[in-house]
């Protein structure tokens, strides 16, 4: 009896299995390469973000520096402007003081005009030599203009007892102003006074019928050289 010989052939993988393996391998490779690409991409993104963040920070610092520089410049300018404003204010104040010193004013602030210049009557040896300002005793008397005190004291400062306590001030333009019947004298001979400066207090001393200030404008420091004080004050833009 003849023997049947059976040949066993090595099995070759089917095309479908090969294809599946190739696809699987390809998929694995894709996944590996994809992961690598993703990793690379992630690495690049992190570097870009850091670079952008650094640039943003630098830009922010630059902006802050610029803002601070502008603020400092503004503060410096404000300081300069403040100094300039103070300088202008000081100059304005000085100019106002100079203008005031160069101006004239009435010797008292609140008053009622009483006996006028040139008035005759039994109260005066001759006609009235000044302008009377009726004010309460103790009213502040001010220098009508800048000048130097040449007379100050009782007995009319040397002009006679009729004036009581009196002051005479010499002015740069050659005129003299006199203030009489004072209750108090606040200056002495030789003192320099400015327009509006307090020189004494009104009173009722000497030949006086009631509290008032007797005011004269003279061409010399002495009695007998008086001119109309109201007309003179009008000429220097003081209207009483």
- As a whole number of angstroms, the distance between CA 24 and CA 30 comes to 10
Is 212 among the residues known to form the active site?
yes
Q: Per-residue pLDDT for 17 more than 90?
A: no
173-214 pLDDT per residue, tens: 999 999 999 999 999 999 999 999 999 999 999 999 999 999
For residue 230, with 0-12 CB atoms within 10 Å meaning exposed, 13-18 middle and 19 or more buried, which class applies? middle
- The predicted pLDDT at position 201 comes to 98
Task: Indicate the pLDDT class of residue 233, thresholds 50, 70 and 90.
Answer: very high
- The model's pLDDT over 157-181, given as tens digits with 9 standing for 90+, comes to 999 999 999 999 999 999 999 999 9
At residue 49 the predicted structure's pLDDT band, cuts being 50, 70 and 90, is low
Distance between CA atoms of 33 and 27, rounded to whole angstroms?
10
At 121, is the pLDDT very low, low, confident or very high (cuts 50, 70, 90)?
low
Provide, rounded to the nearest whole percent, the portion of the chain with pLDDT above 70: 71
- Confidence at residue 13, expressed as pLDDT on a 0 to 100 scale: 46
Mean pLDDT of 48-66: 69
Whether the predicted pLDDT of 21 surpasses 70: no
pLDDT digits (tens, 9 = 90+) for 64-115: 888 887 777 777 767 888 888 899 998 888 877 667 667 999 999 999 999 9
* Per annotation, catalytic residue among 128, 145, 181, 212: 212
Please spell the DSSP secondary structure of 161-185, one letter per residue: GGG-EEEEEE-TTS-EEEEEEEEEE
Q: Give the C-alpha separation, 134 to 202, whole Å.
A: 9
d(CA 63, CA 220): 77
The 10s digit of each residue's pLDDT in 26-42 is 444 343 344 443 333 44
pLDDT digit string (tens) for 135-160?
999 999 999 999 999 999 999 999 99
pTM value? 0.61
pLDDT of residue 119: 85
């Amino acid at each position: 009896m003849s023997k049947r010989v059976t040949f066993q052939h090595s099995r070759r993988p089917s095309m479908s299995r090969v294809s599946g393996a190739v696809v699987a391998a390809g998929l694995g490779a894709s996944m590996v390469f994809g992961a690598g690409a993703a990793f690379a991409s992630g690495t690049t993104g992190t570097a870009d973000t850091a670079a952008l963040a650094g640039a943003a920070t630098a830009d922010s610092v630059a902006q802050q520096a610029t803002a601070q520089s502008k603020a400092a410049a503004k503060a410096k300018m404000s300081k300069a402007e403040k100094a300039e404003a103070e300088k202008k204010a000081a100059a304005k104040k000085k100019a106002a003081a100079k203008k005031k010193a160069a101006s004239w004013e009435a010797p008292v602030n609140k008053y009622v005009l009483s006996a006028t210049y040139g008035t005759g009557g039994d109260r005066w040896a001759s006609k009235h030599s000044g302008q009377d300002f009726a004010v309460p005793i103790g009213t502040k008397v001010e220098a009508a203009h800048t000048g130097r005190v040449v007379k100050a004291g009782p007995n009319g400062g040397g002009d006679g007892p009729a004036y009581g306590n009196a002051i005479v001030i010499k002015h740069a333009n050659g005129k003299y102003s006199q203030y009489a019947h004072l209750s108090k004298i606040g200056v002495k001979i030789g003192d320099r006074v400015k327009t509006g400066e307090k020189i004494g207090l009104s009173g009722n001393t000497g030949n006086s019928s009631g509290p008032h200030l007797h005011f004269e404008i003279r061409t010399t420091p002495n009695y007998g050289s008086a001119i109309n004080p109201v007309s003179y004050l009008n000429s220097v833009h003081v209207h009483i």
